[in-house]
Amino acid sequence: MPARSDVSIRGVEISYGPVRVLERLDLEIAQSEFLVLLGPSGCGKSTLLNAIAGLTDVDDGQIWIGGTNVTWHEPKDRGIAMVFQSYALYPRMTVRGNMSFGLRVAGAPKADIERRVREAAEMLRITDLLERKPSELSGGQRQRVAIGRALVRDAGVFLLDEPLSNLDAQLRAELRVEIKRLHQRLGATMIYVTHDQIEALTLADRIAVMKDRRIQQLGSPDDVYLRPANKFVATFVGSPAMGFLLGKLGTDPSAPMFEAPGVKVPLTGYAFAERPVAGQGVELGIRPEHVLHGDGDIAADVEMVEPMGSDKLAWLRIGEQPLSIRLPAETPVARGDRLHLKLPAHRLNLFDAASGQRL
């Protein structure tokens, strides 16, 4: 592996014809970091990955890998390896052929190729598949082979473009663990594109949540989950989704308060990013598992209960507004019950009702 494998994206802009796909994007990815680009389809995350790989030309800005400006280098000269959603295996070659072809064309010594293929195959437990054709493999096996083809390149940076999206749920969980283990073992920098927030939260050292050509938030999974930077991040990350109550801030500046019909929540202990404006319209967001019940003073009616195995989700109505609460599976709760809720200030997320930005 090359000595340095950090990635630096500096002011990158990309347009397809008149359509702007990425807008002055800056991103620093440290050596050996696992960075996930998370976002809905069309947010530019795959374009960014392709630009790092050198498969898409940038209109402006620079891309540095391992301390070298590679903006205009061919993909093969960037010290990267890539794994694709559709696996992109060469269908008429055996697994061994797929893994070794790039090295053979590059003129690597035979013994070297043999050794690298063997090591990668052992690491991914596909040694007994080496002489098979891709058409004879299952989806999970094909993606292992595609990862193997990336491994033999001995690259410092791995780019993974939705590698698990074509697999069923069980295989996805299995390979997710495998990829994490691989990252720990190789110590390579990994940049991973997905629209699946579970993958992002479980794999990432840091997550870059993207939407509308921009990074909306860059932070650790905890940051993104517990302190979303805006309402989009708050709704996109987390399942079951965060609940929201529309209201406004109280007028007493010494004792900040969230007010909505039937709801009064003291905000003492909430870490405001800037001084709140009295009377400002805000949205209060809280994750279902952070809603407490029992001795609170917010009355809520249970409208529906969804059992989820380990716990259950109750859909509530507070006045006119819906909210959900996550309860232990054994909690006796049924439709029509009345709960008394408490919304702890340090678990709240307040967003400006107009801009959606976190307060």
Partner 1 sequence: MKSSHINAQIALLPAILIALVVYCGTTGWTIWISFTNSRMLPSSVMVGWRNYLSLIGNERWVVSVTNLFVFGALFISAALVLGFLLAAMIDRHVRAESLFRSVFLYPFSMSFIVTGLAWRWLLDPTLGIEKLAHAIGFSWFHFDWLVRPDRVIYTLVLAAVWHAAGLVMAILLAGLRGIDGEIWKAARVDGLPVWRTYISVILPMLTGSFATATLLLATSVVRLYDLSVAMTNGGPGVASEVPAKFVMDHLFERANVGLATAAASTMLVTIVAVAAPWLYYQQRGRRT
Report yes or no: 316 and 302 within 8 Å, Cβ to Cβ.
Answer: yes
Between 52 and 348, CB nearer to partner 1: 52
Q: Give the Cα separation of 324 and 289 in Å (integer).
A: 9
Please state the closest distance from residue 82 (CB atom) to partner 1, in A: 5
**42 near partner 1 (CB under 8 A):** no
**Nearest Cα to 12, choosing from 24, 3, 20?**
24
Please state the closest distance from residue 57 (CB atom) to partner 1, in A: 13
In this chain, which of 7, 12, 27, 80 binds partner 1, going by CB under 8 A? 80
Q: Give the Cα separation of 323 and 64 in Å (integer).
A: 45
Q: Give the Cα separation of 134 and 89 in Å (integer).
A: 7
Site mask for partner 1 (CB under 8 A), range 163-202, x = bound: ----------------------------------------
Between 102 and 356, CB nearer to partner 1: 102
Q: Give the Cα separation of 123 and 186 in Å (integer).
A: 11
The site for partner 1, by CB under 8 A, has a size of 27
**75 near partner 1 (CB under 8 A):** yes
**In terms of C-beta density within 10 A (0-12 exposed, 13-18 middle, 19 or more buried), how is residue 235 classed?**
middle
In this chain, which of 47, 50, 143, 324 binds partner 1, going by CB under 8 A? 50
Amino acid occupying residue 220 = S
**Nearest Cα to 143, choosing from 166, 122, 123, 127?**
166
In this chain, which of 24, 76, 181, 342 binds partner 1, going by CB under 8 A? 76
Report yes or no: 125 and 107 within 8 Å, Cβ to Cβ.
Answer: no
Report yes or no: 297 and 340 within 8 Å, Cβ to Cβ.
Answer: yes
Between 73 and 214, CB nearer to partner 1: 73
Q: Which stretch binds partner 1 (CB under 8 A): 24-32, 76-84, 247-255, 292-300?
A: 76-84
Between 82 and 300, CB nearer to partner 1: 82
Q: Give, as one character, the DSSP assignment of residue 230.
A: B
Q: Give the Cα separation of 26 and 55 in Å (integer).
A: 19
In this chain, which of 13, 61, 101, 280 binds partner 1, going by CB under 8 A? 101
Between 195 and 231, CB nearer to partner 1: 195
Which residues, other chains included, contact 88 with Cβ-Cβ below 8 Å and sequence gap of 6+? 146
**1 near partner 1 (CB under 8 A):** no
Q: Which residues of 203-215 are buried (b: 16+ CB within 10 A; e: fewer)?
A: bbebbbbbbebeb
Between 75 and 344, CB nearer to partner 1: 75
Q: Which stretch binds partner 1 (CB under 8 A): 8-16, 47-55, 195-203, 207-215?
A: 47-55
Which residues are near partner 1 by CB under 8 A?
50, 53-55, 74-77, 80-82, 84-93, 101-102, 105-106, 149, 153
